[in-house]
Amino acid sequence: MDDSTTVKTLKQSVVSFRDARDWKKFHTPKDLAASISIEANELLELFQWKTPQEAQALLDDSTKMQEIRDEIADIVIYCLSASDSMEFDLSEAVAAKLQKNEEKYPVEKAKGNSKKYTEL
Ligand SMILES: [Mg+2]
């Protein structure tokens, strides 16, 4: 599998996994929002207390890199489940948000700096 697998295919796999276990009843908007946050924090925990150099070095550690990939995948899995439970098209939502970000961060103002759009 590579990044060319469509969001639709991934979403179908997530829904099949969830429904085979009769877990849809647990996937409320509140619990999905909490789960996305919990998984994001599991990702953050892998970097906790590391210096910037130590954090960068994790990317060269295959065991740690697998853990990082797993946590990012968990986040995406819950996002896909949320888009199903809350009945919206995730691809469309990402494209629409990128467009909003384009407007908030025009290249001529944002290129090469990390300022928030309110500071540009
Ligand atoms: Mg996890």
Which CATH number is 69's domain given?
1.10.287.1080
pLDDT-derived band of residue 1, with 50, 70 and 90 as boundaries? low
Report the separation in Å between the CA atom of 27 and the middle of ligand 1, taken as the mean of its atom positions.
Answer: 16
Q: Are residues 61 and 101 in the same domain?
A: no
Region for 119 from its dihedrals, namely left if φ exceeds 0, alpha if ψ lies in -120 to 50, beta otherwise: alpha
Q: Are residues 65 and 104 in the same domain?
A: no
pTM of the model: 0.91
Domain limits at 53? 1-88
The Cα–Cα gap between 14 and 35 comes to 14
Give the total number of structural domains in the chain: 2
Task: Quote the tokens at residue 83.
Answer: 């888009």
Average pLDDT over residues 1-5: 70
Average pLDDT over residues 103-110: 94
Report the separation in Å between the CA atom of 109 and the middle of ligand 1, taken as the mean of its atom positions.
Answer: 37
Report the separation in Å between the CA atom of 84 and the middle of ligand 1, taken as the mean of its atom positions.
Answer: 20
pLDDT surpassing 80 at residue 9: yes
Report the separation in Å between the CA atom of 28 and the middle of ligand 1, taken as the mean of its atom positions.
Answer: 18
The predicted-structure confidence for 52-100, as pLDDT tens digits, reads as follows 999 999 999 999 999 999 999 999 999 999 999 999 999 999 999 999 9
